[in-house]
Structure 1
């Protein structure tokens, strides 16, 4: 069965872009059907001719918008072929999109164009994709409405998981959660959240923070509520504040190539290679523009996921990128007004508990990028890198899985981590107050008993009974157990 559309372009033009998630093929069907990860197309619907333009028009109409492939394919579209098609159908939706994209990706202005009319058309179909605010191109009457800018853009399909996240009204439920807690309980819940978000953000990177490192990261998280616009100086300052080794502290985005290493030896140990320095700086300018100005109308969780994962893929610093990416998750939520009262979502706690899924989502992008690099190992920490891909793979990426994962971690952070801690503290207060009303028990002893009992599913262990036997009446053990079970 012959490949058509995006997969045909990728193969016949020798493109470096990732394979489409659902390649289109001509098959024995009477209408378009999705089968086993492919789009089956009747012969009568397939492109009538075998030119790049014909396959691009088919892909835009039936496969959606894949900017990574289009960025590489558009220079192969002959100007005369596009002009002839436009003269025949000057208001055609997909021809206008093709013309807009060809100018965008080649920088070549078409001469002798016919007048373009008709209503403006969106580059991304909002029924299929999560979209951003529209930027209208008056010449082509095309709205760029992607999650990003024309120079750096993420694509998020409205899969069942993504749509469920959008329908969950998570920001509203976050505000409802904080509004239901009294000031004292909210303060203690927040103290727990900051502590554990810090601990697990380091733990994801196999680090155990010193007291100074922990304090610096807590302060970093608090700064998210300042809603400071992202700039190179601001991000470099945050990076310097959270990296303890003076050699690794940055004053600007990196000027050298970095890479990530995993288990293994030599070149095989290199697991991901971020964009070259000059490209990385350009991408950060585009990412920061989107983070600062492109969030209007975008779901806050989508915005947070795209910005944080996008940042870690660019990897603009030599160290500290992972922690900063998780800060940017909170920063985006705060700028969108989804977090107030100093609240953070302990997403790192949830990510640490779902570390295998976190790695899988990161690798959905990092693995195919790594395949586009040739790496030669000379000695420990000494490599030669040669990029065999195309810059478009760093500029345009599919963030569907990343948004679904980021949304599920935010959901778990709220409904499991924060609610469980708030419930724990409420139960703790009620049990301590009830015991103190009837017995005179040393505060530290009672606190240890109550915490261990709640953590042990409402049972005071024999170890704790033995530990406090000479200081705590047996009736207290029984009362603590009874009260704890009533709160579980």
Structure 2
């Protein structure tokens, strides 16, 4: 900064970009950079500031540091602070590098050519912008990880000799969501959920396990339609269940996604199949004018081929190096934010969860975790997770009505779908998978054991075909263990009063297992 030039970094504030601070403080790191360079980016979920007291604490979406943490009020000062304390926010960094241009970044490296932060910044500039700075290759300095693995989940990575860093980013410049290490995620990973699932099923006989798997597959398929507010015919539910059962067998690319969309849609007379050829949004329309009222605006249709290629590369090259649930959260929620199709995105989003878990061997052989069924039970939490990013993104998208009840995005938004904080999504998905292991798998196997016991004892009283027995069980189950007067008078008029009493007693003995 030249003499006499005003320092662009703000002083003490109580409100920052409509977000109130717990007390008056000085924005630092990403907050300071966003403000100084007027970056049009979603604000990080947690911002940093330097407070007046010698107390470090987190409150109201802010992490307040002490005066001794205060960085130099400069580009390099706040960039170094961000990398040291806040991890990487690739969307912010890419917009920042575009705003600064190459010369200030080049000056940062030339001022500290062996410094690990300078070399990381140098690498990130070239990786994100796709242009080489006019600098000779580094010759000194220990290889530093680009992503701090103590802050965010990383892959093993490969060395970049030019910068003397190790590129351990869990993605590519085309698609790279990041996930912070949290106590919740650490605890789930420490449990080794895949091993727990195998233990739950270890003592289950093969025939019972096969029936459990078939039921859970059908349950997941039905739930995935119900999440979208649909109630399709049973044969369509079964067909989609068969597709879910094949998840993980084929790599994800544009051709495969379009094949799956055709299966999901079925009747495509009023739906364009394949990538969208216009804008897209999730929301409502004004009742009078028909104008769009978006809750989420999808990626521009011009960006879709590159974004889908990013998803493909992530699935092929990156996901194998991440924990399967982390990879599934990144891929699946990234897909649903992109929303590449006119219809079918929600079910394909949940299919991608199954795809990653199955392809990485996380599921017990032959079994699908009924993730959609758990999501249906936790639908409000699911919506909250989706909105954790959509609500921060929506105000930044410049759009206008297209005239057909749709939207036309006016600016460059592709990076908002490439780079997002997938931490809430990973925590949510881990909780769903844990519920299937803690509750759904044991409950279903317990139910089938009890059902078989009930059927065996009933067959000792009266002979009836399987279809009639299933009807008897449903009537009892729906009526709290009592056979209704209507059922006694019609479908089961042939039963004696004594037989009915005995059947109801047998059901009562096993009722707690149903």
Same fold (TM over 0.5): yes
Alignment RMSD:
2.6
Residue of structure 2 in register with 1:421 after alignment:
444
Determine if contact 1:171/1:338 at 8 Å carries over to the other structure. Answer: yes
Determine if contact 2:138/2:164 at 8 Å carries over to the other structure. Answer: no
* Bigger shift: residues 123-132 or 66-75: 123-132
Residue of structure 2 in register with 1:108 after alignment:
131
The separation in 1 between residues aligned to 2:57 and 2:259, in whole angstroms, is 52
The separation in 2 between residues aligned to 1:454 and 1:163, in whole angstroms, is 40
Residue of structure 2 in register with 1:150 after alignment:
173
Say yes or no: does 1:257 pair with 2:283: no
Q: Secondary structure, in 3 states, of the residue corresponding to 1:341?
A: coil
How many angstroms does 1:231 deviate by?
1.7
Change (3 A) 1:423 1:113: same
The separation in 1 between residues aligned to 2:479 and 2:409, in whole angstroms, is 55
Say yes or no: does 1:326 pair with 2:366: no
The separation in 1 between residues aligned to 2:166 and 2:55, in whole angstroms, is 29
122, 125, 135: which one pairs with 1:99? 122
Residue correspondence of structure 1 range 14-25 to structure 2 within 5 A: 14-25=38-49
447, 470, 482: which one pairs with 1:460? 482
Say yes or no: does 1:339 pair with 2:352: no
Q: Secondary structure, in 3 states, of the residue corresponding to 1:152?
A: coil
395, 406, 409: which one pairs with 2:429? 406
The separation in 2 between residues aligned to 1:41 and 1:392, in whole angstroms, is 30
How many angstroms does 1:211 deviate by?
3.9
> TM-score normalized by structure 1?
0.90
Residue of structure 1 in register with 2:502 after alignment:
476
Residue of structure 1 in register with 2:226 after alignment:
203
Residue of structure 2 in register with 1:282 after alignment:
306
The separation in 1 between residues aligned to 2:237 and 2:143, in whole angstroms, is 51
> TM-score normalized by structure 2?
0.86
Say yes or no: does 1:121 pair with 2:144: yes
Determine if contact 1:123/1:145 at 8 Å carries over to the other structure. Answer: yes
Determine if contact 2:299/2:338 at 8 Å carries over to the other structure. Answer: yes
22, 28, 32: which one pairs with 2:52? 28
Residue of structure 1 in register with 2:3 after alignment:
none
Residue of structure 2 in register with 1:63 after alignment:
86
* Bigger shift: residues 134-143 or 344-353: 134-143
226, 248, 257: which one pairs with 1:235? 257
Determine if contact 2:483/2:500 at 8 Å carries over to the other structure. Answer: no
How many angstroms does 1:232 deviate by?
1.2
Determine if contact 1:372/1:388 at 8 Å carries over to the other structure. Answer: no
Say yes or no: does 1:90 pair with 2:113: yes
Change (3 A) 1:166 1:3: same
Residue of structure 1 in register with 2:462 after alignment:
440
Change (3 A) 1:78 1:310: closer
The separation in 2 between residues aligned to 1:276 and 1:263, in whole angstroms, is 19
The separation in 2 between residues aligned to 1:247 and 1:478, in whole angstroms, is 50
Change (3 A) 1:246 1:22: closer
234, 242, 245: which one pairs with 1:219? 242
Residue correspondence of structure 1 range 37-48 to structure 2 within 5 A: 37-48=61-72
Change (3 A) 1:31 1:135: farther
How many angstroms does 1:260 deviate by?
2.0
Aligned residues: 483
How many angstroms does 1:150 deviate by?
2.5
Cα deviation, 1:14-68, whole Å, max 9, x if unaligned, reads 11111122211121233644344322233343222x3323211111112111111
Cα deviation, 1:422-451, whole Å, max 9, x if unaligned, reads 2111001112213333x2243455544445
The separation in 2 between residues aligned to 1:362 and 1:55, in whole angstroms, is 30
Determine if contact 2:147/2:154 at 8 Å carries over to the other structure. Answer: yes
Change (3 A) 1:229 1:386: closer
The separation in 2 between residues aligned to 1:65 and 1:303, in whole angstroms, is 18
The separation in 1 between residues aligned to 2:273 and 2:139, in whole angstroms, is 48
Change (3 A) 1:164 1:86: same
Q: Secondary structure, in 3 states, of the residue corresponding to 1:317?
A: coil
Cα deviation, 1:290-331, whole Å, max 9, x if unaligned, reads 112212342111111211111111112221111111111111
* Bigger shift: residues 183-192 or 198-207: 183-192
Question: Which sections of structure 2, spanning at least 5 residues, go unmatched?
Answer: 1-24
How many angstroms does 1:478 deviate by?
4.7
The separation in 1 between residues aligned to 2:221 and 2:301, in whole angstroms, is 29
Question: Which sections of structure 1, spanning at least 5 residues, go unmatched?
Answer: none
Determine if contact 2:122/2:163 at 8 Å carries over to the other structure. Answer: yes
1, 4, 11: which one pairs with 2:35? 11
Q: Secondary structure, in 3 states, of the residue corresponding to 1:397?
A: coil
Determine if contact 1:361/1:402 at 8 Å carries over to the other structure. Answer: yes
Determine if contact 1:454/1:484 at 8 Å carries over to the other structure. Answer: no
Cα deviation, 1:442-469, whole Å, max 9, x if unaligned, reads 3455544445555666x43555884547
Residue of structure 2 in register with 1:182 after alignment:
205
The separation in 1 between residues aligned to 2:503 and 2:402, in whole angstroms, is 65
The separation in 2 between residues aligned to 1:233 and 1:485, in whole angstroms, is 48
196, 206, 220: which one pairs with 1:173? 196
Determine if contact 2:333/2:349 at 8 Å carries over to the other structure. Answer: yes
* Bigger shift: residues 106-115 or 409-418: 106-115
How many angstroms does 1:156 deviate by?
0.9
